Structures are given as structure tokens and as C-alpha cells.
Amino acid sequence: MELTELIRSAAKKLETPFLVIDTNYVKENYSKLRNSIKNVEIFYAVKANSHISILETLRDLGSSFDVASKGEIIKLMDLGISTKKISFGNTIKKEVDIKFAWDNGVEYFAIDSEMEVEKIARNAPGAKVYGRLSMSSNDSDWPLSGKFGTDADHLIEILKYAKRKGLKPYGVSFHVGSQSYNKYKWKEAILNASEVFEKLHKEKIDLKMLNLGGGIPVKHTKPVPEVEEIGEIINESINEYLGWVKGLRVLSEPGRSMVGNAGIIASRVLLRSRKGTQNWVFLDTGVFHGLMETIENFRYEIMVEGKENAETINMTLAGPTCDSVDTIYDEVELPINIEYNDIVYIMNTGAYTSEYATNFNGIEPIKVYTITELEKLIQDEYVLVEEKI
């Protein structure tokens, strides 16, 4: 997302830290993804950022939604979103949540274990279930190989078990890993998924849905494949491996790629100090107030207001809390002349930031503004200043 004059001006006038969201980027991301994958149905992964402005924007574009809990379903229903457009993609659901979802019209449920089949059979009899394949995802920032999904043979058994339990085996999902750098991972995953389609077809179980999961990367500090390139690989692979499936539905569950570049965090330097030979810079936001993903060294681009072209040196960047875990980067290049009260922008922080924020240390979770709210706030403050005079 571009660092506009409005954002720079707001950062100077308003209390930091805050995350600003520009939903125009969400619209653009939505349209790009729709144009890149043939007939794709987009189920936005609400967990990436559940801010109402984002959900409303996607609702108005006709998007569907992937949810993780009853709490997210209620939030969508409150925005007038039909439960027919909701898929319950968490493979670890509470029974009460399954029942709530089914009773309110949610039709699709993810599974990757026998026990989850039993829970769904008890609470959502006749529901459509899709099985999640595991992957070896070494080319992503957040490999998800361990916790979710299972191998093709096991998944086939699970989907057959679901049928015996009165559920409708409906499709296969996978996730190449969040922020995946290797576009050929999708080809490998679709090939694996096609094996499940084929083997079950031979047993007269016809799956109808391929769920591509998320994983489309957002540009931060490393080069990433474009969504169009990834789409091309996906279209070719579906054609090659699943072209024989009649009426195949293709779903995508973008989270980061839908909102990651739609946000910028504005923060300020609270302290600069030296410890031994190392320079430390402390911001008014950190791991517990928006930058949780940095604990595993996820790298955001950082810009310091007015010092965009300054010489940089290696420093340690940390957050404002009394907790050593609240260290953003042990080593990062920052302007040699960075100083107290400088405004620091953390770029493309629309995904997985405000959602992870806590109240730790008595410090409030990061504030979130839309561009429209920001415009209004700046104007209000202007009026306030006028009145004082």
C-alpha cells in the first residue's frame, strides 16, 4: 500500500500507534484473484483481518467467507451475509459451534480426522465435508505441514467414513503454507488432490470441490511470484489433473493476499539507546500490540518519516512492553540518524496484525482506522485547533 500524504499527515497529528486500512486495495486484490483463477469462488479467510470495513467491502463484491469459529459466523451474520456463503474451514471445531453453524445454514465443513467426522455427523447431519490434505511446505514463511491436514490415503479413508456416517464427501482442500514463495507448490498440491478425487471416483464417490486454501504471498522484503503467475499454474494444473471432473467448483481462501497490502502501521520511536556496542530502537507498538508475526522473524518493510534516504546501520528494534519476547527484530537496518519521536511506518501490515493484539502491560490493542475515518479525524483535529484559537 502506498504511503500517501494523508497517512503521513495523520501520523504527525494523531496519537500512535495505529493501523490504517485502505479497502481499495482489497477490491483490487479481489478482482485480480478472480481474474487469475478460472471460475474461482473466493472465500475470504476472516482470521487475517476481521475489521468490519474489510468484511463489508468483500460482502459488497459478492465474496464468500472462510471462518474459524462461531464468533466469526456471528460477526458475518450481523453484517447481513448469508450463511450459504460461509465455509467452516477450521479442522478443530467445538461441537456447539458446529451445531450453531449448521442450525443457521452453514453447509461446508472441513475435516482431517475421524473424530471431526463424528462431531460433524452428530451436529450437522447431511453436511458437505471437505478433507484437508497435508503438504510438505518448505517454500513458505509459515509452513503449516504439521498441525493441519493428513496424507492422501488417510484422507480417502476419512471421506469414506464421512459417507458412512451420513455426511456428503464434497471435496479436497490444502494449504501450501502462508506466504508461499514457490508457485509450483500449487501444481504439486493439485496433483495430490487429484489422487483423492480419482481413487474415490473408482469407489463411486464423486467429489465436486477443490479448495486451494490460501498462501498467495504479499510483497515485503523478498521477491514473490505475482498472483497472475500463480493463477496460470493453477489453471493449467486443474486442467491437466482434474479436467475430467464434471462441474468442478474451485474455491480459494485468501487471507494475507486479500488484505496484507491494504494496511500500514504508523508508530513512533519511544526510545533510542545503546547497550554495549548495539543500538536499540524502541517503538510504541510491538509483538503484543500488532507485530506478533515478527516473533518468528517475519520481515516487514520499515520506513522512517523524512529519513527514507538516510544511511542505515544494523540495530535492534523492540516494542514498548516489559517483556523480552517483545523484541521485533534482533537485527534490522535502520537510518543511522533515527531518533526519539520519529514516525516509523511498518508497511503492508493489513493481515495478521490487529487480530493478534493484546492488552498486555495495560497498553491498548492497536487502533484501526479506515482511510475515511483518518480523513475525518484529521479534519476534526483541525477544527479543534481552530476553536482553541
Interacting residues toward a second copy by CB under 8 A: 45-47, 50, 67-75, 89-94, 112-116, 119, 134, 142-144, 146-151, 154, 270-276, 280, 282, 284, 288, 295-296, 316, 318, 320-327, 340, 355-364
Considering the complex, state which of residue 7 and residue 357 has its C-beta at the smaller distance from a second copy. Answer: 357
Minimum distance, C-beta of residue 306 to a second copy, in the bound complex (Å): 19
Q: Which is nearer to a second copy, 76 or 210 (CB)?
A: 76
Q: How many residues does the chain have?
A: 389
Amino acid at position 176, single letter: V
* Count of alpha carbons within 13 angstroms of residue 283, beta-carbon side: 32
CB 183, min distance to a second copy, A: 21
Inter-residue contact 144 to 177 (CB < 8 Å) = yes
Q: Which is nearer to a second copy, 214 or 231 (CB)?
A: 214
Q: Distance (Å, rounded) from C-alpha 184 to C-alpha 234?
A: 9
The CA distance from 315 to 282, in Å, is 10
b/e map of 359-368 (b: 16 or more CB within 10 Å)? ebeebebbbb
- With respect to a second copy, which residue has the nearer C-beta, 80 or 276? 276
Minimum Å distance from CB 14 to a second copy? 13
Instruction: Decide whether 66 or 245 has the Cβ nearer to a second copy.
Output: 66
User: Please, which residue, 24 or 336, has the CB nearer to a second copy?
Assistant: 336
Name the grid cell of 244.
475430467
Element (H, E) at 270: strand 263-275
Q: What is the 3-state secondary structure (H, E, C) of 118-169?
A: HHHHHHCCCCEEEEEECCCCCCEEECCCCCCCECHHHHHHHHHHHHHCCCEE
Burial readout 170-179 (b: 16 or more C-beta within 10 A, e: otherwise)? bbbbbbbbbb
The partner residues of 172 in beta bridges, in order of sequence, read 131, 210
Q: List Cβ neighbours of 60 (8 Å cut-off, separation of 6 or more).
A: none
d(CA 145, CA 121): 26
Least distance to a second copy, CB of residue 84, Å: 19
CB of residue 95 to a second copy, shortest distance in Å? 8
159/318 with CB nearer a second copy = 318
HEC per residue, 333-384: EEECCCCCCCEEEECCCCCCCHHHCCCHHHCCCCEEEEHHHHHHHHHHHHHH
Measure the CA–CA gap between 204 and 172, rounded to whole angstroms: 16
Q: Is the Cα dihedral 193, 197, 200, 205 positive or negative?
A: positive
What's the CA gap between 147 and 149, in Å, rounded? 7
Supply the minimum distance, in Å, between the C-beta of residue 71 and a second copy: 3
Q: Is 322 a catalytic residue?
A: yes
**Which residue among the candidates 311, 322, 362, 389 is catalytic per the annotation?**
322
CB closer to a second copy out of 177 and 231: 177
Nearest distance in Å: CB 363, a second copy: 5
Closest by alpha carbon to 28, among 352, 186, 254, 236?
A: 254
CB of 157 to a second copy, least distance (A): 11
Active site residues: 322
